[in-house]
Amino acid sequence: MTALRGLLRKEFFHIRRDKRTAAVLVMLPVVQVLLFGYAIRTDVNDVRLAVVDPSPDSATIDLRNRFAAAGIFRIVATAPRTDDLNRLFQTGAAEQAIVFRPGFAEDLRRTEPAQLLVITDATEPNTGALLQAYAQAVVQQYQADLTRSAPQSASGARSIRPAITIAPIVRTRFNPTRASSNLFVPGLMAFVLTIISSLMTAITLTREKETGTMEALLVSPLRPWEIIAGKVVPYLAIGFAAVVLVLVEALIVFRVPLRGSVLLLLFEGALYILVSLNFGILISSRTSSQRLAMLGVFLTTLLPNILLSGFIFPLESMPAVLRWISFVVPGRWFVTIARGIMLKGIGLEYLWRETLYMTALAFGLLVVSLRSFNERLE
């Protein structure tokens, strides 16, 4: 045990002496979250809206005003015909268009389905879907108000049936303000933790191989698990500090809600760090140089954690193969867990499956990396 304590001391010396790396370790998560939090936004603002209104009338103008008053739309063009629409979309002058059918108001009054076409630029599918939903929300609100204010007939039945034909509206639950930082911050936590845990362990372990000190450790009476523990514990501590830091930042700067248990979130964070550390160890046991290890971590850990965790791209829209692969991407489970705890306020009763997967990954990887560590001695 004294031997292990010595190893841990030494690792902390490394971290403290290498000021630049230490600074990176501490500042990186904070800066990353700031950058990503502000840069990756799918919130839409200032949507350039074109309106085609062949027969302006109180009903269509009312609806147009509602779009203008919604706060996120800016009407950039109003035309009687659809001729100009193509050009507007192609030049990017408009991102979205609402097209009233001739006789829209007339149909409304006659309680026939009044038709309205919503065209959305879906070059960026996520943004497009969001715009579509916004527009539908405005129309739906209008329809609801019409219904409520409809004059009553003598029999008490409503004389006007709301009949604006629109596609069903997808409700966005749990994120009613549609603030993307709420969705991103949990994902970002996974990302920065991966950098610290996987990358740093892989790099420091292979560095010891490069300098030859690893050989000295292997020839010593230290057991493999002690050598690994000597690496894991310090970075587990740093990673944990980073979790707390990022969490505080998320709460204060981005006002991401934390509706569930802090303790559970910290526990899951620690579990996730452990998984990532084990990934780092596994990679370093298979590579001989820092450069290779870095590449290995990047390809097998960082990229999948960004692409296949649901952090940026929704898993639901991926091909089945990628969804299967995502099962061994720890970020996938952590992102789900972190979002669940922070945004939905749910606990282990709903998240036990994800927690179980991460635990299994952690121990599976530990066994594999210990084994390949031993094999290397042969």
Partner 1 sequence: MSELAIQASELTRKFGDFTAVDRISFDVKAGEVFGFLGANGAGKTTAMRMMIGLLSPTGGSARVAGFDVYTQSEQIKRSIGYMSQRFSLYEDLTPRENIRLYGGIYGLTLAQIRERTDRMLTRLGMMNQADEAVRSLPLGWRQKLAFSVALVHQPRIVFLDEPTSGVDPVVRRQFWELIYEAASNGTTVLVTTHYMDEAEYCDRISIMVDGRIGAMGSPRELKDQFGAETIDEVFVKLARPAA
Residues that bind partner 1 (CB under 8 A): 2-3, 5-7, 9-10, 13-14, 17-18, 211-213, 215-222, 377-378
CB of 210 to partner 1, least distance (A): 8
- Provide, rounded to whole angstroms, the least separation between the CB of residue 8 and partner 1: 10
Phi and psi torsions of 270, nearest 5°? -60, -40
H helix runs in the chain, sequence order: 2-17, 19-39, 58-69, 85-91, 104-109, 125-148, 180-194, 200-211, 213-219, 224-252, 262-286, 290-297, 303-307, 320-325, 330-339, 348-375
Residue 182 Cβ, how far from partner 1 at the closest point, in Å?
A: 42
Question: To which residue do tokens 């606990």 refer?
Answer: 347
> What is the C-alpha separation between 338 and 340, in angstroms, rounded?
5
Nearer of residues 22 and 75 to partner 1, judged by Cβ: 22
Answer whether 37's CB lies under 8 Å from 179's CB: no
Q: Tell me how far, at minimum, the Cβ of 215 lies from partner 1, in Å.
A: 5
Q: Is residue 114 classed as helix, strand or coil in its secondary structure?
A: strand
DSSP letter at 340? I
**Farthest CA pair distance, the chain:** 97
For the CB of residue 49, give the shortest distance to partner 1 in the complex, in Å.
Answer: 60
Q: Which is nearer to partner 1, 2 or 91 (CB)?
A: 2
Least Cβ distance, residue 206 to partner 1 (angstroms) = 13
| C-beta of 7 vs 119, nearer to partner 1 | 7
Judge whether 376 and 205 are in contact, CB under 8 Å: no
Q: Which is nearer to partner 1, 9 or 110 (CB)?
A: 9
Cβ proximity to partner 1: between 11 and 53 the closer is 11
Tokens of 137: 């929300």
Least distance in angstroms from the C-beta of 295 to partner 1: 22
Measured between alpha carbons, how far is 121 from 114 in angstroms, rounded to an integer?
Answer: 23
Q: CA quadruple 236, 237, 242, 248: dihedral positive or negative? A: positive
Q: Output the smallest distance, CB 259 to partner 1, in A.
A: 44
Q: Give helix 262-286 / helix 180-194 axis angle, nearest 10°.
A: 40
Q: Residue 168 has what DSSP assignment? A: P
Q: Toward partner 1, which CB reaches closer, 164 or 203?
A: 203
Which residue, 124 or 215, is less far from partner 1 as judged by CB? 215
Contact predicate 115/101, CB 8 Å:
yes
Give the number of residues written for the chain: 378
Q: Which one, 16 or 161, has the nearer CB to partner 1?
A: 16
Please tell me the distance from the alpha carbon of residue 200 to that of residue 231, in angstroms, as a whole number.
10
Identify whether the C-beta of residue 304 lies closer than 8 Å to the C-beta of residue 361: no
Least Å distance, CB 272 to partner 1, is 29
Nearer to partner 1, 17 or 171 (CB): 17
Find tokens 């998984």 and name the residue: 275
Nearer to partner 1, 43 or 215 (CB): 215
- Label residue 139 exposed, middle or buried (CB < 10 Å: 0-12, 13-18, 19+): buried
Shortest Cβ 220–partner 1 spacing (Å) = 5
**224-252 helix and 348-375 helix, angle to the nearest 10 degrees:** 140
Here the tokens at position 309 are 């965790």
